[in-house]
Amino acid sequence: MHFALTLGPETLHALPSGALHWPARRLLAVSDLHLGKSARLARRAGALLPPYETRATLERLDADIAATAPATVICLGDSFDDLAAADSLDEGDALWLTRLMAGREWIWVEGNHDPGPLSLGGSHRAEVGFGALTFRHIADPAEMFEISGHYHPKARLAGQGKPCFLADARRLILPAYGAYTGGLWCEDPTLSGLMQPGALAILTGARARAIPMPR
C-alpha cells in the first residue's frame, strides 16, 4: 500500500503511516514525532489533553519497524516536543523505545523543538548523508536530493484534510508522524515556494495516494 518514488538515483517508498522506507539501504525515516506533547502543554500552558499520544506514536512506529525490518532508523527532528519531554518519558514508554532501538543504528537528527543532546542512546546529528541523499530537519532551498520534515504538510482530498509527503525532483518533505501534531496546508506560500512545479502530495491513510500538490 506504499507509493514508490525516486529521488536522485534512489527508489523510496512513502508508507501510508507517514514513514519513509528506503529498501536498498534497509532504512526507515520518520519526522516530527513530538513525543510528550500532552505533558509539555500541561507543564507550560496548563492545557490538559489525554496523555496517550506517545503510546499511539510508538505503536505506529513499532508496526512500521516490524514490517520493514530496518537496519537504520532516522528520526528527522522534533522527536520530542521539548527537551524536558525526552527526560520525562513514562518508564514503560522509555523501555518500549529502547527495545525498538536495540540491534539497529538509530540516528536522532536535531530539530527546532529538541536541539540539544538527548539522554537516550543512538547518535545525534545536525544532518546526515547516505549516498546521494541528505537527511535534515528543515529543508534548504539550495540543496539537491534532500529529505526533511518540520512543516507537517497536509492536503485536502474530497474535503478531508490528511497529512502528506511532498515530493519533486529535488526534495522530499515528510509529514508529521506523531499524534497531536497540527499541519501546514500545501497551499501555504512557504511550501509552494519550496516545491517545484509538478510536485506531488502523497497522502497518508489506509494507503499512500499521490495527487498533484495543491497550490
Give residue limits of the domains in the chain: 3-212
Rg (CA), the chain: 16
Which residue is listed with cell 532501538? 101
pLDDT tens track for 17-26: 999 999 999 9
106: left (phi over 0), alpha (psi -120 to 50) or beta: beta
Task: Tell whether the model's pLDDT for residue 39 goes beyond 60.
Answer: no
What's the pLDDT score for residue 34? 85
Question: Using CA atoms, how far apart are residues 74 and 106, in angstroms rounded to an integer?
Answer: 6
Nearest to 210 by CA among 3, 27, 1, 8: 3
Section 188-204 average pLDDT = 96
Indicate the average pLDDT of the chain. Answer: 88
Rounded alpha-carbon distances, angstroms, from residue 84 to 23, 33, 59, 183: 34, 15, 22, 23
Span 3-212: which CATH code?
3.60.21
Asked whether the beta carbons of 37 and 53 are under 8 A apart, the reply is: yes
Q: Is the pTM of this model over 0.95?
A: no
Which helix (DSSP H) or strand (DSSP E) does residue 16 occupy?
none
The per-residue b/e assignment along 188-199, b for 16 or more CB within 10 angstroms, e otherwise, is eeebbebbeeeb
Strands of 2-159, DSSP E? 3-7, 10-14, 20-22, 27-30, 72-75, 105-109, 123-125, 127-130, 133-136, 146-148, 153-157
Residue 24 per-residue DSSP state: G
Task: Tell whether the model's pLDDT for residue 48 goes beyond 80.
Answer: no
What's the pLDDT score for residue 180? 62
